[in-house]
Amino acid sequence: MTRPMLALLLFWFATGAQALDPMPFKDAAEEQRFQAITRELRCLVCQNQNIADSNAELAKDLRNEVFDMMRAGKSDAEINQFMTERYGDFVLYRPPMKGSTWLLWLGPFAVLFGGGLVVLRLLRRRRDSAEAQSPSASAAPAQQIDAAPNKAADPNEMIP
């Protein structure tokens, strides 16, 4: 990255940080709670930001809304419910586990598990063939690398 670009970026972030008008918090605990809530809410205008960080008009309105609800004595759950009733689960960075989201929550673990199984099988096979081919162990590695792709095509190795 060139120096002027970097300078421009830094400048951009600096103005961004300034643009968020501070809330009249009465103490640090209230501020912390406010930050915790708004960090977990997605800004729908600029979708990869939460409403704590976003400069969008709507994010500002929603921050005010959260603040007012906190002052009105609403619980975190009530505030989240207010948001999801209007904007859907998408507004939550941690959507609830349910029919439409189980793949989202469990998918990565399923892929990790499947990949782990494949790796485990490959390693086991490699060890078996190494054992079978010893004592000429020094020649074995090259042969195994050649053999591996074919063995990966075993029917039992399908990823679930």
Partner 1 sequence: MMRYVPIALFLALAVLLFLGLGLDPKTVPSPLIDKPAPAFELPELREPGQMVRSEALRGKPYLLNVWGSWCVACQQEHPVLMQFAREHDLTLVGLNWKDDQETALRWLARFGDPYDQIAVDAEGGTAIDFGVYGAPESFLVDAEGVIRYKKIGPISPDDIKNDILPRLEAKP
Question: Which residues are near partner 1 by CB under 8 A?
Answer: 44-45, 47, 57-58, 61-62, 65, 84-90, 149-150, 152-155, 157-159
Closer of 27 and 57 to partner 1 (Cβ)? 57
**Torsion angles phi and psi, residue 114, rounded to 5:** -60, -45
Cα 104 from Cα 78, distance rounded (Å): 24
Cα 54 from Cα 33, distance rounded (Å): 18
Cα 133 from Cα 34, distance rounded (Å): 65
Give me the least distance between CB of 5 and partner 1, in Å please. 27
50 touches 38 (CB < 8 A):
yes
Closer of 17 and 145 to partner 1 (Cβ)? 145
5: number of CA atoms within 13 Å, CB side?
Answer: 2
Give me the long-range contacts of 4-7 (CB less than 8 A, separation at least 24).
none
Give me the least distance between CB of 158 and partner 1, in Å please. 6
Closer of 20 and 45 to partner 1 (Cβ)? 45
Give me the least distance between CB of 140 and partner 1, in Å please. 22
Give me the least distance between CB of 152 and partner 1, in Å please. 6
Closer of 48 and 136 to partner 1 (Cβ)? 48
Structure tokens at 75: 């619980």
Cα 76 from Cα 107, distance rounded (Å): 28
Closer of 99 and 135 to partner 1 (Cβ)? 99
Give me the least distance between CB of 50 and partner 1, in Å please. 14
